[in-house]
Amino acid sequence: MKSNKFLAIYNELCKQIKSGELKPHEKIPSENVLSEQYETSRETIRKALNLLSQNGFIQKVKGKGSIVLDVRKFSFPVSGLVSFKELSKTMGQPSQTIVHEFGLVRPDSFIKKQLNISSKDEIWRVIRARQIEGEKIILDKDFLLKKHVPLLTKEICEDSIFQYLENDLNLKISFAKKEIVVENCTEEDQQYLDLEDFQHIVVVKNYVYLDDTSLFQYTESRHRLDKFRFVDFARRGH
Amino acid sequence: MKSNKFLAIYNELCKQIKSGELKPHEKIPSENVLSEQYETSRETIRKALNLLSQNGFIQKVKGKGSIVLDVRKFSFPVSGLVSFKELSKTMGQPSQTIVHEFGLVRPDSFIKKQLNISSKDEIWRVIRARQIEGEKIILDKDFLLKKHVPLLTKEICEDSIFQYLENDLNLKISFAKKEIVVENCTEEDQQYLDLEDFQHIVVVKNYVYLDDTSLFQYTESRHRLDKFRFVDFARRGH
DNA sequence: TAGTGGTCTAGACCACCGA
DNA sequence: CGGTGGTCTAGACCACTAG
């Protein structure tokens, strides 16, 4: 781990809020007090508090102080970048992944357009069904550029592609564009999912970028209508 | 407007990126150069650049510099807090608002739960259909606490409640929790919208908070399946 | 008026990158 | 090696809120 002072302070305050040591609607100590407590400058404290504010833990009010928000109301932060494995872990539900298709292929015209590549590039194509509480309700279709991911195995796909990329390949994922739309079910959806009578499906399209700003992965996460939920915490103004 | 130096710099760079003066994949001047150009300190420049980074305009790379991202790929930022009027303006599509129900009521049990209030509080209840290119595809149901909004008129609802709150009442909206789910269509949906044969509807639930952290508005925005689209730009790590 | 958070400064040291 | 962005400091002034 790095030794970021402001991150350490953020984590400590974060923990205190989650544990209830700092209660909702109460004020946290002022920036001046905190800078003495932590023996650091005020700007460093402010960095930590701004992080807390961005992530919905506190609300800063000019002239008054910083108030703790009711985190329970904002729980389940599906917003941002999270992998299915991280998600199912925090939700505490038993889940299972079934790899249906896996291989190295040439891109078809659709993928060429999505990833903005030529026919010469090879890509990993993975199709997985996600089962939660006995029902197959999510179909994940991943397309990764071989250029950035030389090796991929079925075993990795059964665990977490995401963890493999970050931990083993040490690829730094920096940002993603996410798009949510509703589409008609395909035969593929019907084949791999427990769709009941639903005729539509919620599709989350993810365009994932690396640290050097290169687009390297396109993912479609297809959710059964009744099981889909997306939560976002948004701040107004800056 | 206020005279925030870092905001002014942010806006100027933002404009240069949007206009193409600073092109995608090119580097912007270094922080040291910019601090000389703008005759300011480096920390102030960094504030501006961090804002650009958060909003998806640039990517900062340690040891190298800041690279301009392809903004066109991330256009249409429905993410965050935007009103229908702001949205239709940026999309450049002709739109129309029809106020179906409007009045001051006592909260039913559902709204009491959503807004976390008692039976004594009065609320404004507004139901509006949004028509785009001749089709009624969005049903907005707004519930506002009278405690914070003493007066509301049908005319305001036909224009923009949001603008009225911010500009005239000078209420400061600071953050919101947004939740997206899919529900079965109600009779109300069928009555007020051009639903065709869709049996489900995308519901965006908004819990809106003021500067002093008080919850004062609950909004349901019900979108016809085929017309719904949500785009998000997410960064990983901090 | 005293205390709060918001902004800004000038300088410092570090890790990282490229030549 | 020099240049880059990342972090941290100690101090300053401001606008706002409260008593």
Q: Which residues in range 158-217 of chain B are in contact with strand D, contact meaning CB within 7 A of any of its atoms?
A: none
Find the residue in B nearest to A67 (Cα): B213
Residues of B in contact with A229 (CB under 8 A): 179-181
Q: Distance, angstroms, CA A6 to C1' D9?
A: 13
Going by C-alpha positions, the residue among B62, B76, B59, B77 that lies closest to residue B22 is B59
Query: Is the domain of B112 the same as that of B68?
Result: no
Query: Is the domain of A175 the same as that of A65?
Result: no
Record: contact A235-B74, CB cut-off 8 A: no
Q: Which residues contact A213 (CB under 8 A, 6 or more apart)?
A: A174, B25, B59, B67, B69
Query: Is the domain of A216 the same as that of A184?
Result: yes
Rounded mean pLDDT of B208-234? 90
- How far does the CA of residue B68 sit from the closest CA of chain A (Å)? 9
Query: Is the domain of B15 the same as that of B130?
Result: no
Half-sphere exposure (Cβ direction) of A57: Cα atoms closer than 13 Å: 19
CA dihedral B21, B22, B26, B27 (to 10 degrees): 140
pLDDT surpassing 80 at residue A209:
yes
The CATH number of the domain holding residue B13 is 1.10.10.10
How many residues can be counted in chain B?
238
Name which residue leads in pLDDT, B75 or A216. Answer: A216
Query: Is the domain of A62 the same as that of A150?
Result: no
Query: Is the domain of A51 the same as that of A93?
Result: no
Cα B19–Cα A206–Cα A134 angle in degrees, nearest 5: 160
Task: Output the pLDDT for position B81.
Answer: 52
Q: Distance, angstroms, CA B217 to C1' D17?
A: 25
Q: Which of B73, B102, B120 is the C-terminal boundary of a domain?
A: B73
A132 to each of A88, A160, A214, B21, how far by Cα in Å? 9, 16, 33, 49
Query: Is the domain of B150 the same as that of B186?
Result: yes
Nucleotides of C under 7 A from a protein CB: 3-12, 15-18
- Tens digit of pLDDT for each residue in A71-90? 877 655 444 455 676 666 66
B174–chain A Cβ distance below 8 A for any pair: yes
How many independent structural domains does chain B possess?
2
Task: Output the pLDDT for position A211.
Answer: 86
pLDDT band at B26 (very low <50, low <70, confident <90, very high): very high
B226–chain A Cβ distance below 8 A for any pair: yes
Query: Is the domain of B106 the same as that of B151?
Result: yes
Query: Is the domain of A33 the same as that of A93?
Result: no
Query: Is the domain of B119 the same as that of B223?
Result: yes
Q: Which of B16, B42, B73 is the C-terminal boundary of a domain?
A: B73
Print the SS3 string covering chain B: CCCCHHHHHHHHHHHHHHHCCCCCCCECCCHHHHHHHCCCCHHHHHHHHHHHHHCCCEEEECCCEEEECCHHHHCCCCCCCCCHHHHHHHHCCCEEEEEEEEEEECCCHHHHHHHCCCCCCCEEEEEEEEEECCEEEEEEEEEEECCCCCCCCHHHHHCCHHHHHHHHCCCCEEEEEEEEEEEECCHHHHHHCCCCCCCEEEEEEEEEEECCCCEEEEEEEEEEHHHCEEEEEEECCC
Q: Is residue A154 part of a domain?
A: yes
Name which residue leads in pLDDT, B75 or B43. Answer: B43
Record: contact A181-B74, CB cut-off 8 A: no
Q: Is residue B199 part of a domain?
A: yes
Query: What region, left, alpha or beta, does residue A72 occupy, with left being phi > 0 and alpha being psi -120 to 50 degrees?
Result: alpha
Rounded mean pLDDT of B130-154? 93
Task: Output the pLDDT for position B170.
Answer: 82
How many residues can be counted in chain A?
238
pLDDT band at A234 (very low <50, low <70, confident <90, very high): confident
Q: Is residue B235 part of a domain?
A: no
| B residues 51..70 contacting A (CB < 8 A) | 51, 56, 59, 61, 67, 69
Q: Is residue B237 part of a domain?
A: no
pLDDT band at B167 (very low <50, low <70, confident <90, very high): confident
Rounded mean pLDDT of B144-159? 93
Q: Is residue B194 part of a domain?
A: yes
Among B29-33, B46-50, B197-201, B214-218, whose mean pLDDT is lowest? B214-218
Q: Which residues contact B62 (CB under 8 A, 6 or more apart)?
A: none
B207–chain A Cβ distance below 8 A for any pair: yes
Q: Which residues contact A160 (CB under 8 A, 6 or more apart)?
A: A83, A84, A85
Q: Distance, angstroms, CA B47 to C1' D10?
A: 19
- Residue B135 φ/ψ, nearest 5 degrees: -115, 135
Q: Distance, angstroms, CA B20 to C1' D11?
A: 40
- Tens digit of pLDDT for each residue in A136-184? 999 999 999 998 999 999 999 998 898 888 888 888 889 998 888 999 9
Q: Which of A29, A48, A74 is the C-terminal boundary of a domain?
A: A74
Going by C-alpha positions, the residue among B121, B129, B115, B74 that lies closest to residue B208 is B115
Q: Is residue B79 part of a domain?
A: no
Query: Is the domain of A60 the same as that of A133?
Result: no
CA dihedral A223, A226, A227, A228 (to 10 degrees): 60
The CATH number of the domain holding residue A128 is 3.40.1410.10
Query: Is the domain of B156 the same as that of B222?
Result: yes
pLDDT surpassing 50 at residue B77:
no
Q: Which residues contact B25 (CB under 8 A, 6 or more apart)?
A: A213, B67, B68, B70
Record: contact B175-A229, CB cut-off 8 A: no
Across all residues in chain A, what is the average pLDDT? 89
Question: What's the domain range around B19?
Answer: 5-73
Residues of B in contact with A200 (CB under 8 A): 198, 200, 225
pLDDT band at A92 (very low <50, low <70, confident <90, very high): low
Q: Is residue A155 part of a domain?
A: yes
Q: Which residues in range 101-130 of chain A are in contact with strand D, contact meaning CB within 7 A of any of its atoms?
A: none
Name which residue leads in pLDDT, B13 or B90. Answer: B13
Question: What is the share, in percent, of chain A residues with pLDDT greater than 70?
Answer: 90
pLDDT surpassing 80 at residue B79:
no
Task: Output the pLDDT for position A25.
Answer: 93
Rounded mean pLDDT of A113-135? 91
pLDDT surpassing 50 at residue B238:
no
Rounded mean pLDDT of A43-70? 95
Q: Is residue A238 part of a domain?
A: no
Half-sphere exposure (Cβ direction) of A235: Cα atoms closer than 13 Å: 17
- Residue B218 · residue B143 · CB < 8 Å: yes
Name which residue leads in pLDDT, A89 or A99. Answer: A99
